[in-house]
Structure 1
Amino acid sequence: MSKLPEHKKGRGAQKRVHNRFFELSHELRDDFLNYCETEGELADKNQTRHIEVFPKTFVNKVNSPDVGMGFSANPYQGCEHGCVYCYARNSHEYWGYGAGLDFERNILYKTSAPQLLEKHIAKKSWEGHPIVFSGNTDCYQPLERKLEITRKCLEVMLKWKHPTGIITKNSLLLRDLDILKELAKLNCISVNISITSLSEKTRRLLEPRTASIKQRLKVVKVLSEHNIPVRVMMAPIIPSLNSHEILPLVKKVSELGAKDVAYTVVRLNGQIAEIFTDWIHKALPDRAERILNQIAHCHGGTLNDSRFGTRMRGEGEFALQIKETMALAKRKYLPQEKMQPLDASHFLQLKNPQTRLF
């Protein structure tokens, strides 16, 4: 009997996991897949499906005090990037899928997003609060190259001169440089680029279908050259995996023009604990238990912490070491830089021309 490979290349999660919301009313069975595995056959072709959905709204209020945004907008649900640690995996269960391989292979897209966005910001009651694209799943994931939903949303934001934030780890962002430059002239844009490591080997393991580190560093450089404010997100920091890279990473991105670096300590909420644990024993078996133990040490002995105020930064010896190292790096390499608040005045004047009289 031939042996199947332990690690699925090109994917973060290595298994499907059950949907918690279906536990009582549905029985999910993989009898055929399990039979094929025992017979040494490959039943799962590991393909990605794209499914259109039709939401009634598009802009979401963010209630968490730990997240630096008030409103988010996500053109896609699920994410083909496949970052194994992604907290958003759990949200796929609300759509009827699992948080493991389903999250990477069943991508939902919202063609109506630009129209819903314009409808929202045109409301009389809307006051121009910054809207951040992503926040849940990457707005520049591979399907965006074909559908251009994010670009169409940015066109709406520019039309209304609306404060805009972006979080991504994909260099496809540079396709929309023309729009970003116009928003920057109005101080209506800030971009957050996720860079968790300077090592391609680490990137390929953690984030298998994302842009290379070289391409992401290029994004930081190009945006800075065009006076588009960019912050680098070292999120998450994982003890004994990328925690040693804080100083060199901050140094590198500061040289390229980043105005700030933010971080989180990994937490394996919901189904992510099972997915990450399975992955790390397959991807890094010799270091798996050490890394898992140190993650737990940051969260009071468990792999997850849901408490506001501590869940994003952790606590204990390792978390304190990460905090102090990041503070040192920012003092050394980013002493003068600072992200400025976005300007909503252009939007408000455009929406209510009468305000120009006052």
Structure 2
Amino acid sequence: MSFYEIDSKINIIPSKCSDPWFWTSAQINPYRGCQFNCHYCDGKANYYGIPKFGHQIRIKRDVIKTLTRSLHKLGYRKKSDAKQKKLSSFLSKSEILEEREILPKFIISVGGGVTDAYQNIEKEKEITKNIIKTLIEFEFPAFFLTKSTLILRDLDLIGELNDRSYAGVNISVGYSDEKIRRLIEPHSASTLKRFEVLAQFREADIPGGISMMPLAPFIGDSDENIDTLLKWASESKAEHALIAGLTLKPGNRELFFKEFLMKHFPQHVDKYKLIFPENNTYGIPKFDKIKIPNVTAIGHELCKKYNIYPRIKRYIPDGVIKENYLLVEHLYYVHYLLSWVNNKPHSYPASRIIKFACTIDKLEENIRDLSEDKREEFLDGPAFCHQIVDEYLKTKDNKIRKEFE
């Protein structure tokens, strides 16, 4: 294992659409590569361009400086800066108007993409800790996804951020059988220890749940495994559980076969070749030659058993139109039901829902105040999307959700 510093090129630019799983709109990674080096990790794919992913960890220098500069560029100011500015008696008319306006904030994911922000090196470098301190100064919402117990070090800071704005914590779990967990996630904490972490965050009234992904076919996709993890989640007071299967993009696919599957589960190699063919750009599993369980559908039903919501509830920041935000949350949920829970060809083009929802997110007026003609003019989408909107505005629900729930 080697470590070296690289320049931070962080530039926080919010995406046009919030992530349909985590509600995040931007990401900040304090490191590139990850010491946990889990065999399934998507970060190893050629797509991300991180050679020696689990063996060379790049430590980003000047992260705080670049994060601060990015937020300033977007028009955000630290709370201390705003207070100091208000003390000045020399504000121009435009500055006074600016002070009266609320610039809506969005959720930044801290790690969780091509790295774990709480991998072992963080104990020494404390970059993630300083990112949280900076976000507290800006009162900027954040989301954390980790499989590390080190996040407990920052429980008080994350709690302060949640008090001032919003902080959500998801613990990554996937395997209730500790023998299998050690094989597929050899350098991380045990699953039960991770649930202990979640319980402490929930005890502190910090929003949190589990990301049960990726569940590898024939290894982690059994009803028993999913049920056990959700039982433990319930005991830890998880608010939600996100459940999805495995993807294997080029680069990671070859490593997964060579370093994990052939060594520990050779009996599944031929089946995996059918499910994850070569040169599959996005690594999405193919179901035409072999049937595998739909783990999202299984988990969706089991979540009802344990009274756990299968999605993350959307945070509503100041300065946005609440009704529009909640409608977008509803549309995303319908998309989840059609695309993930049912997972089959359907008369409703579910992929169009996200684009349609994003347009609503950008509206500068309450959708309820628009006539049906105006809605059709501003919102480009299939008829069933407009049907969902019409029904939701009348009843806060719609027939499609009821049909596929």
TM-score (norm: length of structure 2): 0.64
Shift of 1:320: 5.2
- Please tell me the residue identity of whatever aligns with 2:175: S
Matched, 1:84 2:34: no
Structure 1 CA distance for aligned equivalents of residues 120 and 161 of structure 2:
24
Structure 1 CA distance for aligned equivalents of residues 292 and 266 of structure 2:
23
Contact 1:52 1:108 in 2 (8 A): yes
Structure 1 CA distance for aligned equivalents of residues 38 and 58 of structure 2:
17
Structure 2 CA distance for aligned equivalents of residues 208 and 58 of structure 1:
33
Structure 2 CA distance for aligned equivalents of residues 104 and 121 of structure 1:
30
Shift of 1:151: 0.2
Structure 2 CA distance for aligned equivalents of residues 87 and 318 of structure 1:
23
Contact 1:187 1:343 in 2 (8 A): no
- Please tell me the residue identity of whatever aligns with 1:82: N
Matched, 1:237 2:192: no
The equivalent position to 1:262 in structure 2, one of 224, 231, 242, is 242
- Please tell me the residue identity of whatever aligns with 1:289: V
Structure 1 CA distance for aligned equivalents of residues 165 and 42 of structure 2:
30
Equivalent residues in 2 for 1:171-210 (5 A)?
171-210=149-188
Structure 1 CA distance for aligned equivalents of residues 211 and 174 of structure 2:
7
- Please tell me the residue identity of whatever aligns with 2:70: H
Matched, 1:323 2:299: no
Shift of 1:239: 1.2
The equivalent position to 2:255 in structure 1, one of 271, 275, 278, is 275
SS in 2 for 1:72: strand
SS in 2 for 1:216: helix
Whose radius of gyration is greater, 1 or 2?
2
**Who is 1:247 aligned against?**
227
Shift of 1:304: 4.2
Structure 2 CA distance for aligned equivalents of residues 52 and 256 of structure 1:
37
- Please tell me the residue identity of whatever aligns with 1:167: L
Structure 1 CA distance for aligned equivalents of residues 161 and 311 of structure 2:
18
Aligned residues: 287
SS in 2 for 1:166: strand
- Please tell me the residue identity of whatever aligns with 2:304: R
The equivalent position to 1:111 in structure 2, one of 47, 57, 61, is 61
Equivalent residues in 2 for 1:26-175 (5 A)?
48-59=1-12, 68=22, 69-90=24-45, 94=49, 98=51, 102-125=52-75, 127-134=104-111, 135-175=113-153
**Who is 1:354 aligned against?**
none
Q: In structure 2, do the counterparts of structure 1 residues 145 and 318 end up closer, same or farther at CA, with 3 Å as the change threshold? A: farther
Taking only aligned residues, the RMSD between alpha carbons, in angstroms, comes to: 2.8
Q: In structure 2, do the counterparts of structure 1 residues 115 and 318 end up closer, same or farther at CA, with 3 Å as the change threshold? A: farther
Higher RCO (CA 8 Å, separation ≥ 6 residues) = 1
Structure 2 CA distance for aligned equivalents of residues 94 and 305 of structure 1:
14
CA deviation string 1:133-184 (max 9, x = no partner):
1122110011000000000000001111111111111010000011111122
Contact 1:58 1:113 in 2 (8 A): no
**Who is 2:282 aligned against?**
306
SS in 2 for 1:107: strand
Shift of 1:112: 1.0
Shift of 1:291: 5.5
Shift of 1:80: 0.8
SS in 1 for 2:168: strand
Please, which runs of 5 or more residues in structure 1 have no aligned partner? Answer: 1-47, 347-358
Contact 2:39 2:260 in 1 (8 A): no
Please, which runs of 5 or more residues in structure 2 have no aligned partner? Answer: 77-103, 320-405
Q: Relative to total residues, which structure has the larger helix share, 1 or 2? A: 2
- Please tell me the residue identity of whatever aligns with 1:113: V
Shift of 1:59: 3.2
Shift of 1:264: 2.1
Contact 1:171 1:215 in 2 (8 A): yes
Contact 1:77 1:92 in 2 (8 A): no
**Who is 1:340 aligned against?**
313
Structure 2 CA distance for aligned equivalents of residues 177 and 262 of structure 1:
22
Contact 1:267 1:303 in 2 (8 A): no
Structure 1 CA distance for aligned equivalents of residues 9 and 269 of structure 2:
44
Shift of 1:209: 1.1
TM-score (norm: length of structure 1): 0.72
SS in 2 for 1:231: strand
Structure 2 CA distance for aligned equivalents of residues 292 and 337 of structure 1:
27
Q: In structure 2, do the counterparts of structure 1 residues 66 and 291 end up closer, same or farther at CA, with 3 Å as the change threshold? A: farther
Shift of 1:336: 6.1
- Please tell me the residue identity of whatever aligns with 2:163: K
CA deviation string 1:321-353 (max 9, x = no partner):
32321111111112568743335339xxxxxxx
SS in 1 for 2:170: strand
- Please tell me the residue identity of whatever aligns with 1:326: G
Moved more, 219-228 or 329-338: 329-338
**Who is 1:27 aligned against?**
none
Structure 1 CA distance for aligned equivalents of residues 279 and 194 of structure 2:
29
Structure 1 CA distance for aligned equivalents of residues 315 and 47 of structure 2:
31
CA deviation string 1:209-251 (max 9, x = no partner):
1122222011111011011111201110111111111111111
SS in 2 for 1:227: coil
